[in-house]
Structure 1
């Protein structure tokens, strides 16, 4: 069994992403609009390259860094900004002040 992992490197290209899939001596490059679409495209490329293999190791990298890819992908998947905060929500309408029912005395 070949234990060499398939590596997929993602590089931002403006609003798009360039994906390079390396599987041993085979290399494929593709482009996608957005990180989630890039990941889906990478998965499709891997399926074409390694047809018939049930066990395979795939490492996703953002500019060569697996942790950076995981962080960016989870943020994109959950609609978070790169700073980790959720996207801006519109302000809640202000509630009317409640009238006091206690007697002054």
Structure 2
């Protein structure tokens, strides 16, 4: 039984991503427009490479760092911006500034009392 993990390295390339899937002796490179699409593409490549294997370990890396990939991927899935070029897909609620404005006068009133 081969216990060597399949590694997938993601590298930002402008607005796109370069994906390198390394499965021991076999290596494949692809490009995708966005991190979520890159992850989907990587999963498809893994399925083609390891057909028939039920047990496999796949490690996703962002510039060689698994934690950085997980952080960037979760941010992308939830529409948040990261320093790796993953664009935010959701805007902050418009009610946020109003909520802050309401708390300021209360703080001022309690300071004067």
Instruction: Specify if TM > 0.5.
Output: yes
Q: Given the superposition, is the C-alpha separation of residues 56 and 91 from structure 1 closer, same or farther in structure 2, using an over 3 Å criterion?
A: same
Higher mean C-alpha deviation, range 76-85 or range 9-18: 76-85
| Structure 1 portions without partners, runs of 5+ | none
How far apart are residue 85 of structure 1 and its match? 13
Q: Which has the larger radius of gyration?
A: 1
In the alignment, structure 2 segments of 5+ residues that lack a partner are 88-92
Distance 1:57 1:93, change over 3 A: closer
The answer as to whether partners of 1:5 and 1:23 remain within 8 angstroms in 2 is yes
TM-score by length of 1: 0.79
RMSD: 4.9
Instruction: Tell me the matched-pair count.
Output: 105
Contact kept, 8 Å, 1:75 with 1:84, in 2: the verdict is no
TM-score by length of 2: 0.74
Please point out which of 93, 97, 111 is paired with 1:91: 97
Shift of 1:3: 0.3
Q: CA deviation at 1:97?
A: 14
Which has a greater percent of helix? Answer: 2
